[in-house]
Copies of this chain bind each other. A is one copy, B any other.
Amino acid sequence: MSVDQPVTVEVGLGDRAYDILIGSGLLSRAGEEISRRLPGTRAAVVTDENVAAAHLDTLKAGLEKGGIQPTVITMPPGEKTKSFAHLEEVVDGILAARLERGDVVVALGGGVIGDLTGFAAGIVRRGMNFVQVPTSLLAQVDSSVGGKTGINSPRGKNLVGVFLQPRLVLADTGVLDTLPIREFRAGYAELAKYGLIDRPELFAWLEVNWQKVFAGGPERAQAIAEACRAKADVVARDEFETGDRALLNLGHTFGHALEAATQYDGARLVHGEGVAIGMALAHRFSSRLNLASPDDAARVETHLRAVGLPWRMSDIPGELPDAEALLSFITQDKKVSRGALTFILTRGIGQAFIAKDVPASEVLSFLRENHPASRKAG
């Protein structure tokens, strides 16, 4: 595996500032990069069985080269691992290794492992050092920036957690070559999202260069770095999600409702696919409200379709609940503030904004018009 000079994105959060290194071969340099920042540290690595099989040996060798002999804690793969029971297991594993507050907990995996491990690192001894080694494209562009950690509750996803900024993120773009294409595409939806929020030039660049991002050339690291920079900008403005940060939920209100409506069945819809459809719907809805041009909505749909992502509700296999039921999933969503419907809408590509008090009746009509059942009927 070649080791190119990685791209560094600095996340500026005052005394919690940290670097994201993005490039191929970073797993092998993990020990060196961690020891340079946290000399003399000991470490626990938390991962899942699938990622362990593919990448744990490489990471361990990389840590050992930097003088770190990690304790390894392996979880089952999948969203169900974001539970209180597994949180307790990880916490106990870290304590069993007798790590102290100045030592480091490393998350090696996708979003599930990153969220669970960050939460554990945030609560053992009231906060240890945390290093992310995201192994999915989604985790590299999304969860590696922002400091959100957490688990799910039977009452909803990500309802329990802490804000914890990592001390370092190592986004090894080489590991993405082993991702199934469907998972890569789902992560790509979140990458494109940053273009749609406030970087129209990123979206335009992706329209031209997306195939190189998928193929794994230097364009891949470049695109990931640009998405991380975009997210870091938003997070730096609003670390604890009291305002602007809600922009990151572009596509997520519709997307979460569709995930819930399909019972989080990954065979039908994974998170990034829900976000892809959600972004297309948010643009189409904005156009219907005369906020944005229908041409922009069409451009988004065309690009999502080109990369092979679903972009409309009828792309989801199987039956969907009706529009009323979809609306009720939206009103149950945690982004509903004191009963009012808050949406991320847009005035065009790269011009997303937070719209409060969106009338539920408008959402319902829109869902009816775009529902696969109504299309078949009409």
- Looking at A119-127, A165-173, A175-183, A209-217, the stretch in contact with chain B turns out to be A119-127
Alpha-carbon separation in the docked complex, A83 to B84 (Å): 12
Alpha-carbon distance A156/B125, docked complex (angstroms) = 10
Report the separation of the CA atoms of residues A217 and B161 in the bound assembly, to the nearest whole angstrom. Answer: 43
Are B95 and A126 touching (Cβ within 8 A)?
A: no
* A interface, size bucket: 20 to 34
Give every chain B residue within 8 A of A162 (Cβ-Cβ). Answer: 122-123, 126-127, 162
Whether A153 and B123, one on each chain, are in contact in the complex, defined by CB atoms closer than 8 angstroms, is no
- Residues of chain B with a CB closer than 8 A to A267's CB: none
In Å, the complex CA distance between A218 and B125 comes to 38
Contacts of A119 in B (CB 8 A): 123
The closest CB in chain B to the CB of A122 belongs to B162
Q: A127-B163, A162-B126, A162-B162 are in contact. Are A155 and B100 (CB under 8 A)?
A: no
Cβ-defined contact, A159 with B337, below 8 A: no
- A125-163: CB near B (< 8 Å → 1, else 0) gives 111000000000000000000001110011110011111
Residue pair B126, A150 in contact (C-beta under 8 Å): yes
The answer, yes or no, to whether A92 is at the interface (CB within 8 Å) is yes
Contact of B95 with A155 in the complex, beta carbons under 8 Å: yes
Residue of B125, B126, B160, B163 touching A91 (CB-CB under 8 A): B160
A240 CB-CB contact with B under 8 Å: yes
- Residues in B whose Cβ lies below 8 Å from that of A100: 337-338
Within 8 A of B (CB), among A61-113: 84, 87-88, 91-92, 95-96, 100
Interface of A, helix, strand, loop or mixed by DSSP: mixed
In the assembled complex, which residues on chain B have CB atoms less than 8 Å from the CB atom of A84?
A: 84, 87-88
Residues on B with beta carbons closer than 8 Å to the beta carbon of A37: none
B334 adjacent to A125 (CB under 8 Å):
yes
How many copies of this chain are found per oligomer?
Answer: 2
Return the chain B residue nearest A87 by Cβ.
B84
Closest to A155 in B: B95
Q: Is A95 a contact of B125 with CB atoms below 8 Å? A: no
Chain B residues with CB under 8 A of A125:
159-160, 334
A119, B91: Cα distance in complex, Å: 15
Q: Verify A155–B338 contact, CB threshold 8 A.
A: no
Instruction: Write the A285-300 contact mask toward B (1 if CB under 8 angstroms, else 0).
Output: 0000000000000000
**A281 CB to nearest B CB, Å:** 25
CA gap between A133 and B160 in the complex, in Å: 24
Q: Are B160 and A123 in contact (CB under 8 A)?
A: yes
- Name the B residues within 8 Å of A88 (CB-CB): 84
Residues of B within 8 A of A91 (CB): 153, 160
Most buried by B among A91, A96, A123: A123
State the Cβ distance, A240 to closest chain B Cβ, in Å. Answer: 7
Residues of B within 8 A of A337 (CB): 100
A149 to B338, CA, bound (A): 28
A173 to chain B, nearest CB (A): 29
Decide yes or no: A240 and B155 within 8 Å by CB, A88-B84, A91-B160, A100-B337 being known contacts.
Answer: no
Whether A240 touches B127, Cβ cut-off 8 Å, given contacts A155-B95, A162-B122, is yes
The answer to whether A123 and B338 have CB atoms under 8 Å apart is: no
A interface with B by C-beta (< 8 Å): 84, 87-88, 91-92, 95-96, 100, 119, 122-127, 148-150, 153-156, 159-163, 240-241, 334, 337-338
Known: A95-B159, A123-B161. 11 other contacts (CB 8 A): A84-B88, A92-B155, A123-B150, A123-B162, A124-B159, A125-B334, A126-B148, A126-B161, A126-B162, A126-B163, A127-B162
